[in-house]
Chain A
Amino acid sequence: MLQERKFLKGPELRDIDDYDFPGFQKALEMGPEAIVEEISKSGLLGRGGAGFPTGKKWELAYQEEGENKYIICNADEGEPGTFKDRYLLDERTLKVLEGIMIGAYTIDADTGYIYIRGEYSRQIEILEETLQKARKAGILGEDILGSNFSFDIKLVRGAGCYVCGDETSLLNSLEGMRGSSRSKPPYPISKGLYGCPTLVNNVESLACSAEILNQGAEKFASMGTEESSGTKLVSLSGDINFPGVYEVEFGSASLQEIIEDLGGGSQQGQEIKFIIPGGLSTPIVPSDNLQAEYSYEGLQQAGSSVGSGGMMVISTAQELSDILTRIARFYMDESCGTCLPCREGNKQIYRIISEAKYAGLTVDRLNLIQDIGDTMQEAARCGLGRSAQLPIGTILSEYKEELIEGGNLP
């Protein structure tokens, strides 16, 4: 039976007096280049959704020249089905802080930001207190732990917009503008906050980095598969008996095992219809494919991706049209409105889908949604517009007959 593999998870770690930041101390001894090498060797891929190699990102940020450099911890966690960063902020607060400090030291940033979603009021309180205590204890501030390294962190509350989790929108938001995305290139690494080199990492990526220095890149790389090192925090929710955040070693389990062994199976033994494995911007995996291995490559083979690790289980008891309507509404509501395909496309898709609940879905309408979705995927500027089609399109094609028959129209 599948068990959790605990690399990130552990007892509550919030009190500065209980922790002497061994990973950061090691970092100070190693120096930036050795840290970059260690993180690269670990094989860690960014856990915010895009999966960019963290070591590579740190290397590029380290190489950038600039009077000011910034590091940003992305704690905007807003993708439906995802709550693992909240677990880390709640329980492993000092590991997240340590990860930010190691990243900052590596790239030589003197200011860091934690951009946290405004609704995480409890976690905001915890972080405020932690940062204050860290300053008092000399963990943040001038010449930290007697080194020449000086660094402080500002906590910034977001204000209710999912799109601000996108790193370029986040930068605009931090600069006091509307949180709409920027075109890339230039990438934040070279021209980020206030035009300066900026390293943006997800909460989990940073906590992983701290643990990689603490426990060693070798240990991390020894877990998982060739292409998917280490473990992943999976947020399990939906029609499941024991929802929660579970730490899974890549390659050690199938989707089915995660759902059965960790999540206790579907609620009231209902039949599973499909799952959304990585948050609401990943394609669905239908129930006949739940043998797929939980890893980047395993999920890719199954036509989906690891995404944020927000795994939602949908049973046959759910009304498909209501699920679809909610997905479409999410994209419509959260579109920042900057580019036409996403702004108008998501409105159209929502309209067709919500009407379909009563008017039925015809082949024509279904094709229309696919066309709009394809256009968005090609022409939308940021990941939000580009991914709307992934869950919606895969539901439509998988359950086409059911959806067309399901309506009341002849």
Chain B
Amino acid sequence: MQKEDTDILLEMAHDIQDTYGYIPEKEIAELAEKLSESRATIYGALEFYSMFYTEPTGKYIIRICDSISCYMNNSNEVLEAVQDYLKLEAGETSDDKLFTLEVVECLGHCGEGPVMMVDDRLHTQISPGRAVEILSKLH
């Protein structure tokens, strides 16, 4: 069966996540309906993608690259400082639901490492101190 190419799950899911910060159960049901798939299929697909969340996350998602080039520019020091400050391990969300911390692979800014993203906002050549300073201003 040939499917329609008008509705693209990835784009629909991004839009939902841009609105809610994650993809809630009822939206999964709606996606399933719109795309004529089972909820399990949609859920299984979304779960594959590391940028999609089916549970609420922190208000801010902090992504720190620890791939090879950033590592050579001391990403581990930035990561340690941020982990210390937030008291979070990779993949965890803070109790006050302010931050989710993700340690990620290459973000495509290897010439300007270390690199930290706060949601869509990119910070390059970041020092441990500067990283913490940026986070301390977020409420």
A216 contacts B by Cβ under 8 Å: no
A117 closest partner in B (C-beta):
B108
Indicate if the CB atoms of A160 and B49 lie closer than 8 Å. yes
User: Quick check: B122 and A121 within 8 Å, CB to CB?
Assistant: yes
Question: Which of A117, A162, A243 is in CB contact (< 8 Å) with B110?
Answer: A243
| Shortest Cβ gap from B25 to chain A (Å) | 18
Cβ–Cβ contact A81 & B106, under 8 A: yes
Known A-B contacts A80-B110, A157-B14; A312 and B68 likewise in contact (beta carbons under 8 Å): yes
Q: How far is the CB of B72 from chain A (nearest CB, A)?
A: 5
Inter-chain CA distance A326–B35, complex, in Å, is: 38
Across the interface, which residues of B come within 8 angstroms of A111, CB to CB? 5
| Among B78-86, B112-120, B131-139, the stretch in contact with A | B112-120
Pairwise interchain contact A236-B5, C-beta atoms closer than 8 A: no
The answer to whether B68 and A161 touch across the interface, beta carbons within 8 angstroms, is: no
B50 at the interface (CB under 8 A from A): yes
Chain A count of residues within 8 A CB distance of the other chain: 58
User: In the complex, A159→B49 CA distance in Å?
Assistant: 5
Enumerate chain A residues within 8 angstroms of B120, measured Cβ to Cβ.
121
Within 8 A of A (CB), among B69-115: 69, 71-72, 104-113
Does A237 lie within 8 Å of B3, measured CB to CB?
no
B4: nearest chain-A partner, CB-CB: A194
Q: Is the CB of B110 within 8 A of A312?
A: yes
Cβ A235 vs Cβ B110 within 8 A: yes
Q: Please tell me if the beta carbons of B3 and A238 are within 8 angstroms of each other in the complex.
A: no
Quick one: which of B63, B66, B110 contacts A237, CB cutoff 8 A? B110
Asked if residues B48 and A326 are in contact (CB atoms below 8 Å), the reply is: no
The reply to whether B111 and A237 form a contact with Cβ atoms under 8 Å apart is: yes
A119 adjacent to B10 (CB under 8 Å): no
Whether the pair B68, A81 counts as a contact (CB closer than 8 A) is: yes
Inter-chain contact B45/A160, CB cutoff 8 Å: no
Residue from A78, A236, A239, A244 within 8 A of B72 (CB atoms) = A239
B95 CB to nearest A CB, Å:
25
Q: Chain B contact residues (Cβ within 8 angstroms of A): what range?
A: 35 or more
Let me know if A118 and B14 touch, CB within 8 A: yes
Q: For A85, A122, A160, A322, which residue has the most chain B Cβ atoms within 10 angstroms?
A: A160
Q: A78–B66 Cα gap in the complex (Å)? A: 13
Assess whether B35 is in contact with A238, with CB atoms less than 8 Å apart: no
Q: Which of A5-13, A175-183, A293-301 contacts B (4 or more CB under 8 A)?
A: A175-183
Determine whether the beta carbon of A178 is less than 8 Å from that of B110.
Answer: no
- A385 at interface, CB cutoff 8 A: no
Closest to B120 in A: A121
> In the complex the two chains form, is B68's CB within 8 Å of A119's CB?
no
| B8: chain A residues within 8 A (beta carbon) | 154, 156, 174, 176
B13 at the interface (CB under 8 A from A): yes
B29 at the interface (CB under 8 A from A): no
CB distance from B23 to the nearest CB of A (A): 11
A89 to B89, CA, bound (A): 34
Contacts of A176 in B (CB 8 A): 7-10, 35, 37, 45
Contact A173 B66 (CB under 8 A): no
Interface flag for A254 (CB, 8 Å)? no
**Complex contact A161–B10 (CB within 8 A):** no
A397, B48: Cα distance in complex, Å: 34
**Which chain A residues have a beta carbon within 8 Å of chain B's beta carbons?**
68, 77-83, 85-86, 111, 117-122, 154, 156-162, 173-180, 193-195, 235-239, 243-245, 276, 280, 310, 312, 314, 318, 322-323, 326-327, 330, 333-334, 336
9 additional A-B pairs beyond A158-B49, A158-B51, A238-B69, beta carbons within 8 Å, are A79-B106, A83-B108, A86-B108, A120-B108, A160-B52, A176-B45, A194-B5, A280-B67, A336-B48
Show 27 A/B contacts (Cβ-Cβ < 8 Å), sorted by A.
A83-B109, A83-B110, A85-B108, A117-B108, A120-B108, A156-B10, A157-B10, A159-B51, A159-B52, A160-B104, A161-B49, A161-B50, A162-B105, A173-B10, A176-B8, A176-B10, A176-B35, A176-B45, A177-B45, A235-B111, A238-B69, A243-B69, A280-B67, A312-B69, A322-B71, A326-B66, A326-B68
Q: Which residues of B contact A (CB under 8 A)?
A: 2-3, 5, 7-11, 13-14, 35, 37, 44-45, 48-52, 63, 66-69, 71-72, 104-113, 117, 120-122
